[in-house]
Amino acid sequence: MSETMAAVERAVRFGIKINKNEEDSNKRVTYLYDAAGMIPAVMDFVEGTFNYGSWGNVEFVKNNYPCMVKFDGTEDYRLNPDNYELKEDGAKSDITDIYYAGNAMSAFKGGWLCQYETATDEYIIWSNVKYDAAYNAYHRTGKDGTLNAGFYRHIYTPSLVENVARSLSGCQTIGDMTAEQENEACKANGDKWGMSSWWEWNYIICLLKIMAKTDDLQTAYGTGNSRTGQPADTGTLNDKGQFYGASDFRTQVKVFHTEALWGDKWERLTKLICADGIVKVLPYGEPNFTGEGYTDVYRYMWNDWRYGYVDKTVMTPYGRLPISFAGDSHKYAADYGAVDTEIVAVPLVGGGCGCGCGLRCGAYVGLGSAAGSAGWAVAPGLSCEMPAAAEQ
């Protein structure tokens, strides 16, 4: 049996099909393959508990855990998943120690992703193997092209400690830095470290949509701190487990042991650029903020700045992009989007805590900000490479 046939034999695939013409954000999503018949996950805002539905024992949920990672990229120890102030063995953790030689991180292991569209539908499929050539694992591909076992992503929106971007509890988050400054502060942790990439963010968003069987992430997981106008200090959700959210627009949302994936502050990403209307990506390598050496994936056919609730998207093999902005807060893609085709734009995702953000947040993709822009409401993500995977 060939390696490809062997991979297909052991494949588990969880997929969704999104009907482009259905305006209801929930009704437009259908489960496919091994997801067929599964119960969607959802946050119970009344009880304050997360209902995993059928997803609690799925590989990408079980293999996600909080841990401390050293500056050299070594995983030091796991944290108690329900109380980060403790190590997994019950001893006191280092999540608040600025002198600890590392960061608090959320581990994501494995996974392959397939994204594509037809004239009527969009498709997102997760697999535990490379099912065929349409599946990629860019979210865990190292700078040199090596396939890693997974990736580490910040638990906390990074804070600046002696010019280094750190993921620690009880700190004020980074603000007022350009993309280049953010990137240098992230890389200052060590050779394995850098700003979070488009691939990592896209991967997590895809998992969330599959689990909840909806395009409306805020209704499923929480509104986030999206209307207070004040970013929260890190660590407000240390005892809230893997997923947590509320519907009050004041409480941070938490998914996959990661605080504030939307709301609080915009997250700036690497490895995707929209240069004068041409979207370009970098599957692996050292990122830049010009798009030089990147691969062209999509061209916008207008010459201005457009924004609003997204009603139409394009599902490329490299991620989903907004293309029309005549939607609604609970219809179609449910979230805002923005594209400026007259600048070289770096992605800002998620949405912030400003009073106007509210239901605009979630899988918000903003391609209307230059790398040189800086503001109190923008911060980088922080990620670290894992060691290489056994399969190549």
pTM beyond 0.85: the answer is yes
Distance of CA 376 to the CA centre of its chain: 21
Q: Enter the tokens of residue 34.
A: 């091994």
Relative to beta strand 272-275, strand 344-345 is: antiparallel
Confidence category of residue 300, pLDDT binned at 50, 70, 90: very high
| Residue-wise pLDDT tens digits, 129-176 | 999 999 999 999 999 999 999 999 999 999 999 999 999 999 999 999
24 burial type by CB count under 10 A (0-12 exposed, 13-18 middle, 19+ buried): middle
Cα 168 to Cα 64: distance, rounded to the nearest angstrom: 18
What local confidence, expressed as pLDDT, does residue 392 receive?
41
Chain segment 328-366, per-residue pLDDT in tens: 999 999 999 999 999 999 999 999 998 779 999 999 999
Looking up tokens 């391609």, which residue turns up?
Answer: 367
Q: Give the pLDDT band (50/70/90) at residue 1.
A: very low
What the block records as the tokens of 298 is 């999509």
Ramachandran region of residue 90, left (φ > 0), alpha (ψ -120 to 50) or beta? left
Q: Partners of 295 in the beta sheet? A: 281
Q: Quick one: pLDDT band at residue 4, thresholds 50, 70, 90?
A: low
| Per-residue model confidence (pLDDT) at position 346 | 98
Residue 76 pLDDT exceeds 80: yes
User: pLDDT grade, residue 182 (50/70/90)?
Assistant: very high
Tokens of 29: 């999503």
Q: Cα–Cα–Cα angle for 390, 391, 392, nearest 5°?
A: 120
